[in-house]
Amino acid sequence: MLNVLPDTVDGHAALSAPTAAGNSRDGMIGGTPAMREILGIVSLVADTEVTVLVQGESGTGKELLSRRIHDASRRHRAPFVPINCGAIPDGLLEAELFGHEKGAYTGAHVQRKGRLELANGGTVFFDEISELSLPLQVKLLRFLQEREVERIGGRQRMRIDARVIAATNKDLKLEVAAGRLREDLYFRLSVVTILLPPLRERGEDLGLLAQEFLRRSCHTHRRAVQFSASTLDAILQYPWPGNIRELENAIQRAVILTTGRLIQPADLGIETREQPSRLSLREARERVERQVIVEALTRSKGNISRAALELGISRPTLHDLVNKHQIATRNGLRWQRSSDGPPAMAAEGGQS
């Protein structure tokens, strides 16, 4: 079993081509090293017959990647047949998968081919495979072993040449441990496992995807709008829990509903975060220096000698730094360096 678990890294380029950023014929856009590694695996497995398990959060493009495998294979002229195991009631799913003969049960007025039979010569895609009931898992396992199906109410077994790709947003190892998924089925499905990273971990791909979805939506709805600078910043900051699907839907909605020529963050339904002010190296050093001194004086309860000893500097140097940074004591006074004796205190408005 080959597991493809890419590291999360930043970068940009095209998913469809190894050198340039842009659009691909199947709509997959990006090019972080993680995604390029995944597409490299796709090119290796496309011309094989192994089953592939695609894992990832909802909305990360699992079906799109599965279609990519099918389109790059020798089966590309044959059907790609998807079936969502979580969207069809369990009582109907068996008939959807295996088909039925006329009169097999009440309401079966005509013979009907199942999805596996319809995918003959092509690829069948099981989405949300973890939602399959245990009895149907047994029947799917038998199909994977024998590559034969028998319609409900039928007596003839038919040889089916269909590649199987499955997808899930769950950790199937945990499902096996919990007894919700058969271990032997898991091993049959996961000959090659591909883990799709969530959108928040895809670096600059996020900007490329946003611009492409904007281009498509403007073309579809005949609008000429653009993102404002603050919107682009907000897109990059937002975690997008719904991943690619959420991003695409938000942009399409904004293109339709915005009344101006610039899409604002509110049009996407996301909040902006105030950008932190940029500090020069000198300002950053002084900020850290002041904080360290304040913390040392706090720990020493205002004792200059002890604070200076902790900081590894002399008392006169610490006096100068306290005045430089205008560090006040709890009663609003500031340390003043005196010529002799213990340090004197001065009010903020002037020396006492």
CATH 3.90.1150.10 assigned to domain 204-268? The reply is: no
Q: What is the largest CA-CA distance in the chain?
A: 108
159 - beta bridge partners? 148
pLDDT (mean) for 131-160:
93
CA distances from 347 to 168, 234, 320 (A): 67, 45, 16
Alpha-carbon distance 131 to 64, whole Å? Answer: 20
Q: Where are the domains of the chain?
A: 50-191, 204-268, 281-347
Query: What's the whole-model pTM score?
Result: 0.68
The answer, yes or no, to whether residue 333 has pLDDT greater than 50, is no
pLDDT in tens, 22-35: 344 555 776 788 88
CA distances from 65 to 134, 262, 277 (A): 27, 32, 40
The answer, yes or no, to whether residue 66 has pLDDT greater than 50, is yes
Calculate ∠ Cα 296-297-299, nearest 5°. Answer: 65
By residue count, the chain amounts to 352
Q: Give every CB contact of residue 291 below 8 A, 6+ residues apart in sequence.
A: none
Do residues 190 and 152 make contact, with C-beta atoms less than 8 angstroms apart? no
CATH 3.40.50.1820 assigned to domain 50-191? The reply is: no
pLDDT in tens, 270-316: 865 555 566 788 888 888 888 888 888 888 888 888 888 999 999 88
List the structure tokens of 68: 């990519």
pLDDT (mean) for 129-153:
94
**Topology at the third CATH level for domain 281-347:** Arc Repressor Mutant, subunit A (1.10.10)
CA distances from 260 to 89, 212, 269 (A): 45, 20, 16
List the structure tokens of 302: 């205002």
- The more confident residue out of 101 and 42 is 42
* Class of residue 261 by CB neighbours under 10 A (exposed 0-12, middle 13-18, buried 19+): exposed
- The more confident residue out of 14 and 128 is 128
